[in-house]
Amino acid sequence: MSRNYKEKIIKAFDQADQYEKFASIQKIVAKKLSDCIRKQFRTSVDRKEKISILEIGCGTGLLTQYLIDFFPDAHFVLTDISPEMLNRAKNKFKNHKYDLTFKLMDGEYPELDEKYDLICSSLTFQWFDNVASAIRTLTNYLKQNGYLICSTLTFETFKEWRSIYNDNDFTCNLQTYPSIESIQSVWPETGTGHWETDEIIVQIDTAIDFFKGLRSIGASVPLEISKPLKLSQFKKVLSDFSKNYNYCSYHIAYGVFRKFSAKGFFVTGTDTDIGKTLISACLTKLLNAVYWKPIQTGLNCDIGDTNTVCYLAELSETQYLSPIIKLQAPLSPEDAARLENRELSLDHVNVSDLKQENKYIVEGAGGIFVPINDHLFIIDLIEKINLPVIIVARTILGTLNHTLMTIEALRNRNIKISGVILNGPLNEDCKNSIISHGKVKILGQVPFLSNVNPDNLSTLCGCISIPEEMV
C-alpha cells in the first residue's frame, strides 16, 4: 500500500463526521467483540489487577465504551491512524475519569514502549496490507498470558455486490478482504489462537444508500489499483442490484489469541499410571527444564512424582517447583481432598511467577477430566497453566478411543496440542491410527523398561524428538 493511498484512507475517515449515525454494523460487531473479551476475562480475579489495554483503530470509541465499563481500573492506550477519529474519541471521553492515553498510530506498524495484557481491535485489520505480519508484530507487545482479540471483515463480505459486477464483466473496485482460510494459520507459535465466524445481513432501502453509507463512515475508498466504472456502467450495477437484492451481507471473523505463560509443555495422559511421570522426567532432562507438578495426590503411599523426576533426571534444587496442592490418598484430587475435609480451588496456582528464561515441564494428575472439585477438572488446570500440551498414551488395546477423545476435548477448549508420546510396546498400527484420525504429531515411542534409573533414562530420552520450533 503506497503512502498516498493510505493518506486517502486517513482523509476519508477524517471526514466521516457522522460516523456513529451510520455505523450500525460497527456497533453490532463492537458489542459482540466486547462479549468475547468478557468471556476470556470471565472471573473477577482476572480483572482485579490494574491491567493494561491497547486498542488498535479505536475510531469514535464504540468498543472503548464497553471496555471501560468492564475494566474501569485498567490503563488504556487508544490508537487510531486518523487524527479526527482520535479527536472524536477524546471528546467522547473528555469528562470521564479513566486512565486513558490517546496515540496517533498506524496499527499495522506500531511504535510502542510497553507490553499489554490485552490488545484489541474491532474492524481494523481488513485495512492492513498483511494481516499475518501485523498479528505477529502485535503479539510481540503482549505480556505472557496476554490476549490479542480482534474482529475483521472477511472475503465474502458484499458478495451480492460482487456478483453483480461479475455478471456484467465489470471490475469490482470495492475493497477485498482476507478469506477465513488465509487467516486460520496466522497465529504465532508463541501462543494459541482461533477464529469464529459470523454473518450479518443488512436490509438496504435503495442501492445508492449502500454507497452513501460507506462514505458516511469513511469506508468508501476503492481499491488502490482499480479503474472506476463509467457512469453508465455504475447505473447498470445499481439497477441490477435493486432488481435482485434488497440486502447486503457482512462476513465477520472474531479472533482470539493467547500468549503462552512461558516456554515448555504441559504433560497430560489418557489415563492414570500411563507413564506421565516417566515422560516428564525425559522431557525435563532433554530440555534442561524446570519440573512442576502443581497437584500431587497419593503421598501416603509414594514419595511423590516431584521426588521421582528429581531422581531420574538428576535435577538440581533450582530445577523443580514444589506442588501447590499436596494430598495423602491415592485418589482424584476431589476425593482425596474430601477425606482431609479440604475444598480445593485453582486460585493459588499463579503462572505469573514463571521465569521467561526457563523452560517448564508441568505434569497433570491423571487424565484431563479428573475432578479437582465439583466444577473444576484437570483440563481447567491446563487452561490456567497455559502451555502447549503433550499427551502420553499407551500402545495397548483401547488406547485409540482414550487418545482421540482426549484430543477432541482439548481442541474443543482451543488448547494447543504439540503432539503425542506413546509409552509401551512398539505398535505401528496404533501410531498410524492416531496420526490419521487425531491429526497430531507422534513425538516419540518409548518402550517399556522394568527398571528405570538415571543411567538408562538417557536411552528413553533418545526415543523422543521435540522439534526446535516447539520450544
Q: Binding residue per annotation — 276?
A: yes
Q: Binding residue per annotation — 273?
A: yes
User: Shortest CA distance to 77 belongs to which of 86, 44, 85, 96?
Assistant: 86
Q: Binding residue per annotation — 321?
A: no
Q: Binding residue per annotation — 106?
A: no
Q: Binding residue per annotation — 57?
A: no
User: Shortest CA distance to 173 belongs to which of 129, 130, 128, 211?
Assistant: 211
Q: How many alpha carbons lie under 13 Å from residue 446 in its C-beta half-sphere?
A: 31
- Cβ partners under 8 Å of residue 115, min gap 6: 52, 141, 142, 143, 146
What separation in angstroms does the CA of 196 have from each of 33, 184, 248, 411? Answer: 11, 10, 20, 14
Q: 3-state DSSP call for residue 366?
A: strand
Given the C-alpha cell 504465532, which residue does it identify? 188
Given a contact cutoff of 8 angstroms between Cβ atoms, the answer to whether 63 and 54 are in contact is no
Q: Binding residue per annotation — 274?
A: yes
User: Shortest CA distance to 294 belongs to which of 349, 212, 247, 347?
Assistant: 349
Q: Binding residue per annotation — 278?
A: yes
Q: Binding residue per annotation — 367?
A: no
Q: Binding residue per annotation — 314?
A: no
Q: 3-state DSSP call for residue 4?
A: helix
Q: 3-state DSSP call for residue 377?
A: strand
Q: Which three cell numbers, joined as nine digits, stand for 329? A: 490418598
- Cβ partners under 8 Å of residue 187, min gap 6: 135, 193, 194, 257
Q: Binding residue per annotation — 62?
A: no
Q: Binding residue per annotation — 366?
A: yes
Q: Binding residue per annotation — 277?
A: yes
Buried b (16+ CB within 10 A) or exposed e, 437-465: ebebbbbbbbeeeeebeeeebeebbebbe
Q: Binding residue per annotation — 449?
A: yes
Q: Binding residue per annotation — 16?
A: no
List the end-to-end C-alpha distance of the chain, in Å, as a whole number: 35
Residues marked active site are found at 293
DSSP string, 114-129: S-EEEEEEES-GGGSS
Helix 83-92 and helix 3-14, axial crossing angle in degrees, nearest 10: 30
* Residue 103 to residue 86: CA distance in whole angstroms: 8
Q: 3-state DSSP call for residue 283?
A: helix
Other Cβ atoms closer than 10 A to 125: 25
Q: If you ran DSSP here, which 8-state letter would residue 247 be given? A: E
* Residue 22 to residue 302: CA distance in whole angstroms: 67
Beta strands 247-259; 191-203: pairing state: antiparallel
Q: Which three cell numbers, joined as nine digits, stand for 279? A: 515422560
Binding site residue list: 273-278, 297, 363-366, 447-449
Binding site residue list for ATP: 273-278, 363-366, 447-449
Binding site residue list for substrate: 297
Binding site residue list for Mg(2+): 277, 363
